[in-house]
Amino acid sequence: MTDLFSIRGKNAVVVGASSGLGADAARAYAQAGANVALLARRTDRLEALRPELEAHGVTVVAAGCDVTDEASCQAAVEKVLAELGTIDILLNNAGVAVFGGVDTLSDEDWDTSLGTNVKGIAHVSKYVIPHMKEAGYGHVVNIASVNAVIADKTDAFIRHSYNASKAAVTGLTRGMAASYARYGITVNALGPGLFSSEMTQHTLFASQEFLAAYNTLNPAGRPGASGELNGPVLFLSSDACSYVQGQFIAVDGGMTIV
C-alpha cells in the first residue's frame, strides 16, 4: 500500500514554484523523496528555496520560466530534461487573478488572465507531454480554482476573467485527459478554495468583511491552511490515481457544496 502512493525517485516539475501553493507543493514533493524542478519568473525565490529542498537528499533544478512566453517554457523544459533526464510529474500552478467584471475589464486584463491561467498550462504542457508520451508514463496536475464553479457577487471581489480562465482550465484538463490516457498519462485538476498566498494576502485576506462572510458560508468555517493542498497534490501525482482521469477535485472545506 505504501508503494502505491510513493513518488520517491520520481522527477516532478512545479510551475509557479516561487511562493504560496507552488512552493508548498515543491516542499511536499521533496519530503516525499521526489527530485524537483522549480519553474517561475523570479529565479531568486527559487534559489532561496533550493537548500530547503535539497536537505531532503533530492536533486533540485531551478529554471526561469515565464508561462506567457512559449519560448521561455520550451527552454525551461529542455533544461529540466537535460539535468534530470525524465519528467514524471507536472504541476501547472502559475496563475493570476485580475479583479473586475465584463463591464470594466480591458482587453489587456483578459489577455493577462487567459494568457497566464490557460495558455500558460498549454505552453509548458506542449513540451512536457511529448516526453511523457514517449515514456508511456506521466501525471499532470493542473491547478484550477473553486472559482471555476462558484463566483462572488460583492463588487470589490468580482473577477469575471478569473472565473472564465479557471473554468477553462477544467475543460482543458478533461480534453488532455481524454487524449493522453492511452499513453499512460493521467491529467486532473485541483480547485483550491481560499488559501493564504501572495496573490490573496493583500486582497481577499485584507478584507475582514470578506473573511467573515467566507467563514460563515464555508462548512469548515475557515480558509485553508498551508500544506492542506499537499495530500491531494501527492495523490494525483502518484500511481494511486492511475485510473483517475479528467477530474476536478475541490479542496475548499466544503465551500462548493453549500
Cβ burial of 138 (10 Å; 0-12, 13-18, 19+) is buried
Q: Taking a C-beta distance cutoff of 8 angstroms, is the pair 64, 58 a contact?
A: no
CB atoms within 10 A of CB 81: 18
At residue 188's C-alpha, the angle toward residues 182 and 193, to 5°, is 175
Sequence letter at residue 45: R
Q: State the catalytic residue, choosing from 137, 162, 180, 214.
A: 162
Instruction: Identify whether 162 is a catalytic site residue.
Output: yes
Across the beta sheet with 35-40, what order do the strands follow?
60-64, 35-40, 11-15, 89-92, 138-143, 185-192, 248-251
Q: Taking Cα atoms as reference points, which of 206, 104, 114, 212 lies closest to residue 158?
A: 104
Active site (catalytic) residues: 162
